Structure 1
Amino acid sequence: MNWVYLPLTIGIYWLALQLHRRIKTPLLNPVLVTLAALVALLLLADIQYAAYDQYSHILTDLLQPAVVALGVPLYLQIHTIKRDLPKILAAVLIAVIVAVGSTTAIALALGASADIAASLAPKSVTTPIAVLISEQIAAHPSITAIAVIITGLVGSVVGIPWMQALNIHHPKAQGIAMGAACHALGTARIVELGEEQGAYSALSLVFSAVFSAMLCPLLVPQIVSLMN
């Protein structure tokens, strides 16, 4: 029966997508609903994740070309992006400093150990790079991976309503914010609003990963040292 895991996952996502189309609410984000349903199913049926992943890993493998596909809207907006590049770099740099600094400081202030705080620091970066950063700063890659997933899911659900509540309607600003704050899942969500948002979000995602890889090893130890 192991062969059923792949079509089951696709079926659950399709049902979640139909539900989201009928009931327009961020709380019914298809990815979030699918993840919750699969976790519940695996727990109730006592199915090991390794067994599930063995027959459904093709979906994870498809994430790589999916991320590459984000380059299409980027290419379509290349002339505008070239003109705005200095502003984009400055905005993403500030976003990374704030994200890494505030996450580490808040975690320590709430009583987390230094290694846990360091594990949470790269939460706004796409998973493969976040895990590498975590290893570089002697943190826990597994905790980092969980933090990244939660950040992406929460961002994809509340990001757009939150920006609308703050009266942020400019496509470029929306794209940069989602890419820097909630990586690929945020980019996949914001691209639904338009190609311009998707292009700026994809670029922001890339720059966020680069800046985080450079700054985390510098900022996290300094913050830990100051607060301990």
Structure 2
Amino acid sequence: MSLVYLPLTIGFYLLAQQLQKRINTPLLNPVLVTLLALVALLLFAGIEYEAYNRFSGILTDLLKPAVVALGVPLYQQLHSIKRELPQILLTVFVSVIVAVASTTAVALVLGASTEIAASLSPKSVTTPIAVLISEQVNGQPSITAIAVIVTGLVGSVIGVPWLKAMKITDPKAQGIAMGTACHALGTARIVEEGATQGAYSALSLVLSAIFSALVCPVVVPLISALF
């Protein structure tokens, strides 16, 4: 049974892709549909996640070259990115401060403990870095990992429709918004809209991770002290 975990996961994803093509709605995001199908299968069949991951973990490892591959559209847009780099840096930096501060504040206002609030603060950063940031601010890395996954899934499902509803049509603005707000999953979604969006999203993803590592240890304790 264990040998079918990997092809089964790939099969679920391919079927989910076909389903989205037939029923054109962002709610049927292939990643989300595949995740829900796998969770249902593991629960129904009583399969331990550790056993499943042991034979399908190669897919997680493939995320590393996939992220590196995002450098291709980034390189193609390098001439315009160089010209606009100061504005991009400022935009992403301010966005990270707002995201970290608002997430921490809202969590505390809703009654979450300081530890939970700290765990949620780096939710818009790619998982490996978010977990390290969580440890820095005395959060729970396991909670952070879940928050990152949920943020990415929600962003990949509703991000593009929301941008269009808000009349944000500039490809560069769309890319920066998705990369900063919902990391790799958001970038994987917005690159489907065009190479420009993909390039700016990939750059923002990296900058967001760097700035979050600098901002969280300062902003999270400050917001926690205020509440």
Count of aligned pairs = 227
2:188 aligned with 1:175, yes or no? no
Q: Which runs of no fewer than 5 residues in structure 2 stay unpaired?
A: none
Amino acid at match of 2:165: A
- Written as runs of structure 1 = structure 2, the 5 A alignment for 1:137-156 is 137-156=137-156
CA–CA separation in structure 1 for the residues paired with 2:202 and 2:12: 27
Rounded to whole Å, the distance in 1 between the matches of 2:87 and 2:204 is 11
3-state SS of paired residue (2:169): coil
Q: Structure 1 residue 218: deviation in Å?
A: 0.2
Match for residue 90 of structure 1?
90
Task: State the match for 1:123 in structure 2.
Answer: 123
Match of 1:132, as an amino acid?
L
Q: CA deviation at 1:192?
A: 0.2
SS in 1 for 2:139: coil
* Aligned-partner Cα distance in 1 for 2:7–2:209: 33
Q: Please report how far the alpha carbon of residue 212 of structure 1 lies from its aligned counterpart in structure 2 after TM superposition.
A: 0.2
Distance in 1 (CA, whole Å) between partners of 2:156 and 2:20 is 13
For residues 106-165 of structure 1, the C-alpha deviation after alignment (integer angstroms, 9 at most, x for no partner) is 000000000000000000000000000001111100000000000000000000000111
Do residues 7 (structure 1) and 13 (structure 2) align?
no
Q: What SS is found at the alignment partner of 2:15?
A: helix
Identity of aligned residues (%): 73
Aligned to 1:42: 42
Q: Give the AA of the match of 2:97.
A: I
- Runs of 4+, deviation exceeding 2 Å: none
Q: What one-letter code is carried by the residue in structure 2 that aligns with 1:207?
A: L
The code of the aligned residue for 1:59 comes to L
TM-score by length of structure 1 reads 0.99
Partner Cα distance (2:158, 2:169) in 1: 15
Other-structure match for 2:69: 69
Which whole-Å CA distance do the structure 1 matches of 2:184 and 2:61 have between them?
14
Matched, 1:160 2:127: no
Cα deviation for residue 22 of structure 1 reads 1.0
Amino acid at match of 2:149: I
**Deviation by residue 1:48-74 (Cα, 9 ceiling, x = unmatched):** 000000100111110000000000000
Give the counterpart letter for 1:127 in structure 2.
T
1 CA distance for matches of 2:97 and 2:215?
8
Aligned counterpart, 1:114: 114
The SS at the match of 2:57 is helix
Counterpart of 1:74, as a letter, is L
2:20 corresponds to 1:17: no
Structure 1, unmatched stretches of 5+, are: none
1:7 shift after superposition: 0.5
CA displacement 1:32-62 (0-9 Å, x = unmatched): 0000000000000000000000100111110
